[in-house]
């Protein structure tokens, strides 16, 4: 079997965040076609700080450039897969030295993500400079560059005047079992489910929903699950709001929820939690931002709400009409577009369309 090198700074053994789940998907996708080695970027704070002076984006440093170059020299890799658009300096160096079989994956538009992440903090300026420089070099020097969504594809072109070569959207391992179709299950309390790891955009969304929507959903409870969200209990818990936080039983919470809410207002890339909710056959009430990159033509599965009034009206109508816990249309949307098999098919098309990988 031909060999590949997969380069990432996400710890694939700790796949609790959306970004890491996507990285794990990418690794398994590549491994379906190649015998794949992993290079994991893991550097000290001092090395990360020094990397700025060479325009590397932390945590990537010049040490990684040397180690990756050495690995490639000592192995006959048919494919080098960079699991981020921020390896531009390394990608440029490899291309300059004759490496042609390079695939780079854009999890989002990192330049925009840095702007959101750091707000008005002046520290974002060196990060912005480094993100812009590295993303541009990644686009210019990759054999194939892959975006996550059409929105990212268009934004990348506006920023860098170069379009990625392909799009592979978020997909998810199918953890579905037939038990999720049992709509006869009765729970003491009907609850909505909010899923997400604790970060700025998810916390802002949860606080907004708790303060502006939950007071008007008298018959319902909201349960919040996701890595580290237990740290925000004091900001979120109410008589009808419960914070679970980190859990290894996410399927149980999906199974018993009547629907999923995703009121996120800012962020980047596609939201993995949407594909996950579709996989479990859940009706989703979410913002336009939440559904970016997803097909939303089926209004019975993906219900777009951008104001508190819209959430209140749509969710109360769902309850009045006795909406089912298992939504077959959500499940079909997942099977047709966002299952792992779809990613395999897309990646197969990519490598077979380029002579470097034949």
Burial class (CB in 10 A: 0-12, 13-18, 19+), 46: exposed
Check whether residue 160 and residue 200 sit in a common domain. no
Average pLDDT, the chain: 89
Residue-wise burial string across 216-255, b where 16 or more C-beta atoms lie within 10 A, e elsewhere = ebeebbbbbbbbebbebeeebeeebbbbbbebeebbebbb
Q: How many structural domains is the chain composed of?
A: 2
Could you read off the pLDDT of 183-242 as tens digits, one per residue?
A: 545 555 689 999 999 988 899 999 999 999 999 998 899 999 999 999 999 999 999 999
Check whether residue 277 and residue 144 sit in a common domain. no
How far apart CA 25 and CA 15 sit, in angstroms, is: 10
Give the residue-averaged pLDDT of 233-258: 93
pLDDT band at 94, cuts 50/70/90?
Answer: very high
Query: Between residues 269 and 86, which one has the greater pLDDT?
Result: 86
**In what side-by-side order are the strands of the sheet with 191-195?**
241-245, 221-225, 191-195, 259-262, 284-286, 302-304
Check whether residue 332 and residue 346 sit in a common domain. no
pLDDT for the residue numbered 187: 52
Could you read off the pLDDT of 128-187 as tens digits, one per residue?
A: 999 999 999 999 999 999 999 888 999 999 999 999 999 999 888 887 765 555 554 555
Check whether residue 270 and residue 288 sit in a common domain. yes
pLDDT for the residue numbered 137: 97
Give the residue-averaged pLDDT of 57-81: 94
Residue 313 has pLDDT above 60, yes or no: yes
- Which range of residues forms the domain containing residue 194? 178-337
Tell me which of 37-41, 168-172, 193-197, 286-290 is least confident: 168-172
Tell me which of 49-53, 85-89, 140-144, 247-251 is least confident: 49-53
Check whether residue 120 and residue 207 sit in a common domain. no
Give the residue-averaged pLDDT of 85-112: 94
Check whether residue 270 and residue 130 sit in a common domain. no
For the stretch 315-320, contacts whose Cβ atoms lie closer than 8 Å and that sit 24 or more positions apart, written own/partner, are: 315/192, 315/213, 315/217, 315/220, 315/259, 315/261, 315/285, 316/216, 316/217, 318/258, 318/259, 318/283, 318/285, 319/190, 319/219, 319/220, 319/258
CATH number of 55's domain:
3.40.50.2000
Check whether residue 305 and residue 347 sit in a common domain. no
> pTM for this structure?
0.78
Tell me which of 22-31, 188-197, 236-245, 284-293 is least confident: 188-197
Check whether residue 208 and residue 247 sit in a common domain. yes
Check whether residue 323 and residue 260 sit in a common domain. yes
Check whether residue 255 and residue 351 sit in a common domain. no
How far apart CA 230 and CA 253 sit, in angstroms, is: 15
Residue 339 has pLDDT above 60, yes or no: yes
Check whether residue 109 and residue 207 sit in a common domain. no
| Pair 213, 263: CB distance under 8 Å | yes
Residue 247 has pLDDT above 80, yes or no: yes
pLDDT for the residue numbered 299: 78
Check whether residue 268 and residue 124 sit in a common domain. no
């Amino acid at each position: 079997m031909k060999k590949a090198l997969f380069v990432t700074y996400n710890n694939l053994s700790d796949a609790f965040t959306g970004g890491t789940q996507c990285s794990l998907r990418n690794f398994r996708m590549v491994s379906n076609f190649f015998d794949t080695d992993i290079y994991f970027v893991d550097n000290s704070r001092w090395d990360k700080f020094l990397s700025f002076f060479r325009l590397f984006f932390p945590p990537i440093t010049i040490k990684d450039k040397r180690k990756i170059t050495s690995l490639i020299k000592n192995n006959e890799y048919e494919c080098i897969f960079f699991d981020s658009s921020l390896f531009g300096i390394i990608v440029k160096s490899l291309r300059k030295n004759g490496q042609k079989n390079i695939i780079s994956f854009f999890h989002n538009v990192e330049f925009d993500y840095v702007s959101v992440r750091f707000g008005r903090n002046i520290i974002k300026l060196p990060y912005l400079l480094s993100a812009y420089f590295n993303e541009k070099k990644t686009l210019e020097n990759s054999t194939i560059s892959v975006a996550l969504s059409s929105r990212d594809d268009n934004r990348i072109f506006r920023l860098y005047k170069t379009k990625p070569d392909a799009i592979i959207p978020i997909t998810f391992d199918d953890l579905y079992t037939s038990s999720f179709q049992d709509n006869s299950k009765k729970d003491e309390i009907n609850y909505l489910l909010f899923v997400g790891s604790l970060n700025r955009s998810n916390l802002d969304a949860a606080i907004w929903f708790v303060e502006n929507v939950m007071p008007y959903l008298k018959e319902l409870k909201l349960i919040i699950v996701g890595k580290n969200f237990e740290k925000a209990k004091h900001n979120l818990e109410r008589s009808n709001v419960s914070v679970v936080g980190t859990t290894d039983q996410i399927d149980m919470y999906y199974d018993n929820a009547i629907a999923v809410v995703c009121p996120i207002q800012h962020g980047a890339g596609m939201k993995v939690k949407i594909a996950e909710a579709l996989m479990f056959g859940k009706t989703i009430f979410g913002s336009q931002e939440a559904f970016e990159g997803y097909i939303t033509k089926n209004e019975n599965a993906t219900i777009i709400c951008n104001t508190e009034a819209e959430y209140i009206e749509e969710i109360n109508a769902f309850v009045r009409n006795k909406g089912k816990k298992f939504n077959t249309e959500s499940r079909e949307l997942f099977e047709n577009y966002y299952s792992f098999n779809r990613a395999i098919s897309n990646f197969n098309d990519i490598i077979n369309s380029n002579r470097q990988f034949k």
